[in-house]
Structure 1
Amino acid sequence: MNKTTEQKERFIDRWLNKYTKLMTAIPEFSHRRRWSILGFFAALTVALSFGLGNLKVDQTFDTWLDAGDSSLLDYHRFRYFFGSDEYVLIMFKPAGKEVFEAETLKKVKALEDELNKKRIEKDSPLGRITRIRTIVSADFLESKNDTLKNRKFIGLTIPDNKLLAEIKKVAFAQRDFPGSFFSKNSEFGAIMILTDYGARIQKSKEPQKAAGSADDFDFSENKAAKKDRNKVPKMESADPTDYMAFNAELEKVLKAHNWANPTVGEPSSQVMDYLIGGGPWVASFFMNIMMTQMGMIMGLALLLILVTLAIAFRSLSAMLWPTLIIALSVVWTLGLIGLADVTMTMMINIVVILNLTVGISSSVHIISGYKYFNVTLDKRPALTKAYEKSGISIMLATLTTLAGMLSLIVVPIVPIRNFAVAASCGILFAYIGTIFLLPALLGIWAPGASRDKATGEKVQGVFERQIQRFIGFIMASTQARPKFIIALFSVIMILSLTGYPRVIVDTNFLESVKPGYGFKETFETLDKHFGGTTNVEIVINTGKNDGLKDVQLLNAMDQLAERAKKERPDFVTKTTSLVNAVKDAHKNLMGRGAVKAGTESPFYSIPADNQKLKQVLLLYDSADPESRKLFADDDWEKGRITLQVVNKSSFEYVEFLSQVEGWLKEYLEPLKKGNADFSYYATGGIPIMMRLTGFLTQSQISSFGLALVVITIIMFLIYGTIRFGIIAMLPNIFPILVTVGVTGWAKIPLDSDTLLVLPIAIGIAVDDTIHFLTHYRGELHAGHDRLDAIKTTLREVGQAMIFTSVILSVGFLIFLPSVYVPFRNFGMLSAIAISSALFADLFFLPALLTVFGKTKKVIGAHS
């Protein structure tokens, strides 16, 4: 070994020895200054508590992507010109036979009138509504004297059933009515409520600058501003509570009209049954259901932690003080988040659970050590001994856990980075509480030692004795048959590897909520009868005024839309663009033709030349300017094609979007010739979500690799030799292989939430290994031989390892009742990782040390 390496090792060794001395002095210091310490932490708690009222939770796309992300800026551009793509779809089933009955349509009109009245009331939650579309108020073009007129399809007065039978024929003859306002068998109807969520410009002195965007979109009437290719307005991000208030008011109105939603347990109505879906409703659903359930889960987690501590230590103070420390660390963390004005997502729930379960580990190690040494020592010497023995390992375990958490900062997703920092702060706060606050609290009230009833002498508690018997079994097994144990764990790792080819990285919106809440059933029904509630938006920028008034362009848009419907009917249910409006207007101007259902007018087409097209568009814009704004801007420079699609998994969406990109290049790329300013792109909820999924998948794997490398380096530096480093890492690779293998064999998809398990698990799993090896190296340094060192280590730290792993596993299993399936999978996989890590540290690691841990010189050991 060269001189430089030895110097580095001596430096680390000196640093560890100094830290051990510091840990030995802390209990006495904290005991003497306990009231000052308690006063400091009380003041800290009060100060940080002021931030709790400023906590913000937001699930919108604006939160998930950096403000300068090109795809987010594209989405803002789309919303600026064409309005929000967030809408609510209400599918209703009349008490009668079908939609086209007078009584049914009267009830639809009454509801629509009420909603229109509510949306213009001051401070109404329904003020977000921009338009309501039903078969009663659907836009209907008709020609008269060579001009076009737009009217409501049915209008103010609902006719009798006889006339409605004729109106029904006309409705079915309209190409865009079936599947939009009523089902193809007219058994179900639909109400589409358009909103302005995400489409309001945020009031700001300076427009947000795009990061490298190349699209020439103007957002000002100022000519100079039009030339600035990167000016983008900062669009308002909706407050999640707005969604909740909106949905609550909407459901209130529906209930007042005696409409019932059977999926939420309401009895079937004699008036109208309905299902509801769409972006605002989904946001409200998750906020209502999950926040309610997460409150219950947090309470249950605390309860189970208290029960576990009670079973383990049979002492009220041993239950109270660790629980107080983690509760305070949660308050400090959440308060700091609020004071820092950081917006969180629903992942804040995982932050709290990690804080509760991981944060308590350090306190449990100290109290377990204190209880162990208190059998032979008085209280204060026992506490000092516990900090001397566990101080270094607690620090190193916290360091490696932080390395696992902070590896997530490489993920280019804002909420993941915020989660990593917040979770790390929580764990660091719990560590600080354990080092400084716990000894002060134990100085006031410490657990007493168990005593033998007959002799009165101090002995271990009943549960502790049972744990020690189990540890005795482990010692006998690992030293009698170490090679068999190594072979057994190796076989399990190989079997786990066979599950890797079966692993699926996929996010499925419909599968995110467990059955019984009407979520999946609602969206499958909406997909079946009305073609879904999600869109892919294609934005076309011609780069010049009146650029959309071009037959070649409209024919290309038409061909693209028809290609999408023809080749991917499993995805695309309907397409909407300026082409639909042009064909409808042209049909009316040239002669309606056949109106019988199943037939189509020969004039339902794009005019043959640009001059005729301009005339049609002029008349159409005069007749229905509000509808025109949905398809083209005021300068006729920018247009959109909406592909309405059904809900699918991210894996399927990726393939579909790749096809869309191919169609765009095939039909729109040729139009760039002679027009350098012509551009196009796909945006909307689905492309944004797929971009997020791609980022998450790649980055989570990268962050796991980074965590593994950083932790491995820490292990090599601390334990000094490559052999020890490898021995230290093998028990930590084992739980990762097992966990990922289980996901493959159990067909659990790795989505954005469950992928968090890998970097977090490696950071947590290594904790017990550090506790074990730190004690083991200390025993070697004290002069014990290898086998005695293993035995002593198992007796002293094995008990705490079991306690903390049980608490961690139980804490994560709290997620099992969650409505949100990815959280449930996250909890289950985390529990599998932690429990398998425990078995690896109790059996695999001692067996490895028994066979391969022979060393002539103790390197990097500390007393």
Structure 2
Amino acid sequence: MNRYIRFVLNHRLIVVLLFALVTAFLGRHLFDAAISSSVGELFFSHNPHYERYIQKNLEFGGDNLILAAYAEKDALTPAGIARLRKAVADIESQPGVVKVDSIISAQHIESVGDDLIIEDYADLMEEHPERLQEVVLTLINDPITKDWLLSRDAGTVLVVVEFASEDQGLEKAPQMFHGVMDAFEKQGFGVENFHRGGLMAVFSYIYEESLFSVRTILPFSALILLFFVYLMFRRLWPVCITLAITFLSIIWTMGLAVRLYGHLNIFTTMVPTLVLITCFGDVVHLCSAYLLELAKGLDKNEAILRSGEEVGVACAYTSGTTFLGFASMTLVPSPVFKQVGLLMGFGVAAALFTALTLVPIFFSIIPRPKEWRKGSVSKVQGLLDGALDACFLVSTRYSRSVVFAFFVLMAVSVYGLTQVHFETQFSKRFSKDHPLQTSLRYFEEKFPGVIPLNIYVETDEAEGLLNPETFAEIAGFEIWIENLEPVNNVVSVVDLVRKLYREINPEMAAEHPLPPTREGLAQLLLLFEMQGGRDLERFINYEHTSMVLKARLADNGVIAASETGRAIAREGKARFGDSLTVDPLGLDFLLGDWVDDILAGQRKGLAFALGTIAVMMVLALRKIGAGLLSMLPNILPLLVLLGYVGLFWDIVDTDTLSVLMVALGIGVDDTIHFLLRLRLEAVKMANPLEAIRNTLHYSGRAIIMSSVILAAGFSVFSFASYFSVQIFGTLLPLCLIAALAADVLLVPAMVNLGWFRFFKAV
């Protein structure tokens, strides 16, 4: 390290020019940066199940939906229906819209004498207002529209807008979402009273949160971090240095992202803020070490070399462990985790390289700083001295009690860990007062079951689904599905046939609810289309070899949706054997399977990170026992986090594990700084107490400062409305506080008890 810093200082101009060229090269790509994210790109890549899901959506309609519900007094009057017609026509003309379902499109079926009459419910409401109550009651109880389009109390109208299922960028969701709401607003609807849901609404809000990360969280984090740096040092030059280093690291990282992927996605927009915050640790340690070396009376150049040599090695190890923490995300079988893990790992490496290269150059250029412990900064440092002395006193005088207290904390955390139940509910990742959450509660009351799950039933036999025995078995299968606890309703061509048969042959239908012959089934479907029935192709294909049962589930999370789908598939296999293929598909169902893979990948990533970090600790401390023991304070923050959520949260969102990976990478840094400094102090003196005191006042000072600064920087995330962003501002500071306590209390106590054998006298 000493040689590298000397080389850098001797070739300052060349080094700065090279940095400028790399920055210009990567920064140029940022001018072409655009946020573009598709569901397949983020989560599934070339997953064959997802590709089949897209293909089936094109054939039978998909779940790229916006749900818009409103309650107005004149909703079912001729005037209200006329306004709705105009709004629906406007929506249908918008790009990407495939279909709009509402009371305008719902069809009423009845027989008059020997004739089958199919009319629109909306037409009946407009033309026969005297029959409104009768028509509404029929609509509410219609098996095709039950608990859909009109609430049971007839007070709320639901409009369902379906968008094309091609793998479109999620950045288009807000435009589509606002286009739908604008259409209603143009017709005088009070859109502020609308309740909105569906997949496209969720993605629209997520996209807005990603912009919030870039436009609000990033600048506010930077301001808070810089404020705390100034508060700790009471000088502008540390602020300027940290600002320059982080600025370059962010440009390099995001420039690489655009060059590799051609664009940013809604999750990589968090990377600049994460890089910004993690960069501060190395710079704070270097600045603190430089001032402490100057305080010893060293000349400027010697202080630069000494601080770079002693702290730089620790920074190299800490950056390595942080890199491993982030890089472990690449083991998760999902493109979005791989991208974020790669970029964060590169950002950490870039921050280390720029810090170890440019910080010494900054030190050499600026004038020798004034004495650190004079003036207003002495108050801050005095408080730090008091805190460090208290830590020294507690950890050395009551070492056994400190270790026992931390082991009790770990035991409680392990118990909490056993209570963790993972689930992912994208709509519930928003705060309770968020419009989406408010709408979700409203939908659960008015239209229970809004999560689509399509069950595709297929056969290789031509016209095979019109075999009366097969059709009857499918009808029984549909009833079985509808009786599952999370399923609210199932609609299929079976319901349509049953309804048609009951209207045409009520006596026979009373005994046999379905036609007993293939010809009877075919004739009913043909009659339906000849009399003006619509959308039959959205339930069964022309060859009658493929059909869909459209189920609606309660929003219990994607894992629950996946379990329901797998149970349906197992039952289908048991009922039909090889004669029919039963294939549940839906985005929540697929995401549930994806989450299972993510959880498995995250566990592997954590295991990999813990194992490799343990190896690095052994190499850094040059002792196997010390390296393995050092993992105790590093594991503690992870256990505290999992114990906390297990004890106090009913359901733990799977994104919580992402915080664990970040916390592991960051939290281990301070342990490395402390123990490497302790090893250096142990060489100088045999008295462990003096070595612990010196280590606390040298590295412990920077550990406290960097932990406070990082916790403050991450706290800005807590103001986000989206859970996956918010937890970086709540759970991550919790991990940092636990790591800080372990490093300034537990580690010194373990050293004092002789668990780390750095001293000849021990």
Provide the TM-score with structure 2 as the length reference.
Answer: 0.93
Asked if the contact 2:150–2:157 (Cα under 8 Å) also holds between the matched residues in 1, the reply is yes
Answer yes or no: is 1:181 the counterpart of 2:149. yes
Q: Report the more deviating stretch, 533-542 or 375-384.
A: 375-384
CA contact (8 A) 1:54 1:341 kept: no
Structure holding more helix per residue: 2
Alpha-carbon contact 2:8-2:361 (below 8 Å) kept: yes
Question: In structure 2, what residue type is equivalent to 1:769?
Answer: T
Where do 1:369-518 residues align within 5 Å? 369-375=289-295, 376-445=297-366, 448-450=369-371, 461-518=378-435
For each residue in 1:603-640, what CA deviation from the matched residue of structure 2 results, as whole angstroms up to 9, or x when unmatched? 99321122222222333344558512101223222111
1:841 matched to 2:758? The reply is: no
Alignment CA distance shift 1:452-1:738 (3 Å):
closer
**Alpha-carbon distance in structure 2 between the residues aligned to 1:172 and 1:739:** 48
CA 1:496–1:130: 2 relative to 1, 3 Å: closer
Deviations 1:687-735 (A, max 9, x none): 1121122112222122111211111122123323232123322221222
Contact 1:61 1:688 in 2 (8 A): no
State the alpha-carbon separation in 1 of the partners of residues 641 and 753 from structure 2: 26
Match of 2:101 in 1: 133
CA pair 460-192 structure 1, distance change in 2 beyond 3 A: closer
Which residue in the other structure is 2:274 paired with? 354
Tell me how far apart the structure 2 counterparts of residues 809 and 749 of structure 1 sit (CA, whole Å): 25
Question: Could you tell which deviates more after superposition, 582-591 or 417-426?
Answer: 582-591
- Answer yes or no: is the 8 Å Cα contact 1:450–1:461 preserved in 2: no
Q: CA deviation digits over 1:580-615, x for unaligned, max 9?
A: 222233334436x8xxxxxx9749932112222222
2 CA distance for matches of 1:361 and 1:752? 28
Does the CA-based 8 Å contact 2:9-2:361 persist in structure 1?
yes
Match of 2:49 among 71, 75, 95: 71
**Pairwise CA distance, 1:773:** 1.5
Which of 74, 85, 92 is matched with 1:109 structurally? 85
- Offset of residue 150 of structure 1: 5.0
Hey, what's the Cα distance between the residues in 2 that align with 1:65 and 1:625?
38
Equivalent-residue separation in structure 2 for 1:507 and 1:168 (angstroms) = 37
Corresponding residue of 2:244: 324
Structure 1: state its 5+ residue gaps.
Answer: 1-19, 120-125, 199-236, 267-272, 594-599, 859-863
Q: Is the 8 A contact 2:637 2:735 kept in 1?
A: yes
Given that 2:242 and 2:283 are in contact with CA atoms closer than 8 Å, whether structure 1 keeps it comes out as yes
Greater Cα shift, 765-774 or 558-567: 558-567
Shift of 1:541: 1.9
User: Of the candidates 129, 136, 152, which is equivalent to residue 161 of structure 1?
Assistant: 129
Secondary structure of 1:179's aligned partner: coil
Deviation at 1:85, TM superposition (A): 2.2
Alignment of 1:521-560 (within 5 A): 521-560=438-477
More displaced stretch, 305-314 vs 347-356: 347-356
1:320 is aligned with what amino acid? C
Decide whether the 8 Å contact of 1:58 with 1:343 is kept in 2. yes
Of the structure 1 ranges 604-613 and 85-94, higher mean CA displacement relative to structure 2 is found in 604-613
Q: What is the one-letter code of the residue matched to 1:572?
A: V
SS in 1 for 2:165: coil
- AA at the equivalent of 2:102: T
Q: What TM-score do you get using the length of structure 1 for normalisation? A: 0.83
CA distance in 2, matches of 1:188, 1:447: 73
In structure 2, relative to structure 1, the CA distance for the partners of 1:467 and 1:176 (3 Å cut) is: same
> SS at 1:771's partner residue?
helix
Q: Contact conserved, 2:293 with 2:306, CA < 8 A, in 1?
A: yes
Given that 2:638 and 2:663 are in contact with CA atoms closer than 8 Å, whether structure 1 keeps it comes out as yes
Distance in 1 between the 2:271 and 2:355 partners? 19
Match for 1:668: what amino acid? F
682-691 or 103-112, larger mean C-alpha shift: 103-112
- For 1:749 and 1:313, locate their aligned partners in 2 and report how far apart those are by CA, in whole Å: 42
> In the TM superposition, what is the alpha-carbon distance from 1:305 to its structure 2 partner?
0.3
Deviations 1:459-492 (A, max 9, x none): 9843223322322332333333322222222222
> 1:500 aligns to what SS in structure 2?
helix
Q: Is the 8 A contact 1:132 1:194 kept in 2?
A: yes
Q: Offset of 1:398 from its aligned partner?
A: 0.7
By how many angstroms is 1:289 displaced? 4.3
Once the two structures are TM-superposed, the CA of residue 431 in structure 1 deviates from its matched residue by 0.8
Say whether the 8 Å CA contact 1:141–1:151 is kept in structure 2: yes
Q: For 2:334, give the aligned amino acid.
A: I
How far the C-alpha of 1:294 sits from its partner, in A, is 4.9
After TM superposition, list the pairs within 5 Å mapping 1:656-805 onto structure 2.
Answer: 656-669=564-577, 672=578, 675=579, 678-747=580-649, 749-782=651-684, 784-805=686-707
Partners of 2:294 and 2:246 in 1: CA distance: 24
**1:240 maps to which residue?**
170
In 2, the alpha carbon distance for the partners of 1:424 and 1:45 equals 18
Q: Which residue, 53, 61, 68 being the options, matches 1:90?
A: 68
Tell me what 1:633 maps to.
541
State the match for 1:46 in structure 2: 24
Counterpart check, 1:30 vs 2:12:
no
Q: Deviations over 1:195-216 (max 9, x none)?
A: 2133xxxxxxxxxxxxxxxxxx
Point out the more displaced range, 545-554 or 444-453: 444-453
Counterpart CA distance in 1 for 2:757 and 2:91 is 80
Q: CA deviation at 1:418?
A: 1.1
Letter in 2 for 1:195: F
Q: What letter matches 2:323 in structure 1?
A: L
Residue 814 of structure 1 deviates from its aligned partner by 1.6
Alpha-carbon contact 1:86-1:279 (below 8 Å) kept? yes
Tell me how far apart the structure 1 counterparts of residues 376 and 186 of structure 2 sit (CA, whole Å): 69
Q: Does 1:288 align with 2:208?
A: yes
Amino acid at match of 1:21: N
- 1:585 is the counterpart of 2:500: yes
1: CA distance between counterparts of 2:642 and 2:431? Answer: 22
Cα distance in structure 2, aligned partners of 1:313 and 1:646: 54
User: 1:105-128 CA deviation, whole Å, 9 max, x = no partner?
Assistant: 222223223334xx1xxxxxx221
Which residue identity is paired with 1:171? L
Residue 269 of structure 1: aligned partner: none
List runs of 5+ in structure 2 lacking aligned partners. Answer: none
Query: Number of residue pairs matched?
Result: 760
Q: Which amino acid aligns with 1:348?
A: T
CA shift, 1:816, in A, is 1.3
In structure 2, what is the Cα distance between the partners aligned to 1:33 and 1:720? Answer: 33
Q: Which amino acid aligns with 1:179?
A: D
1:249 aligns with 2:179: yes
Distance verdict in 2 for CA 1:157–1:798, change over 3 Å: closer
Task: Give the aligned residue type for 1:252.
Answer: D
Q: Distance in 2 between matches of 1:459 and 1:811?
A: 23
> RMSD across aligned C-alpha pairs, in angstroms?
2.8
Q: Could you tell me which of 793, 806, 810 is aligned with 2:708?
A: 806
Q: Work out the CA distance in 1 between the residues paired with 2:545 and 2:489.
A: 24
Q: Does 1:607 align with 2:515?
A: yes
Percent identical: 21
Paired with 2:55 and 2:759, the residues of 1 have a C-alpha distance of 67
Are the structure 2 counterparts of residues 310 and 696 from structure 1 closer, same or farther at C-alpha, using a change threshold of 3 Å?
same
CA 1:602/1:171 → structure 2, altered by over 3 Å: closer, same or farther?
A: farther
Whole-angstrom distance in 2 between the partners of 1:187 and 1:479:
70
In 2, the alpha carbon distance for the partners of 1:451 and 1:531 equals 65
* Separation of aligned partners in 2, 1:681 and 1:486: 55
Secondary structure, aligned partner of 2:732 = helix
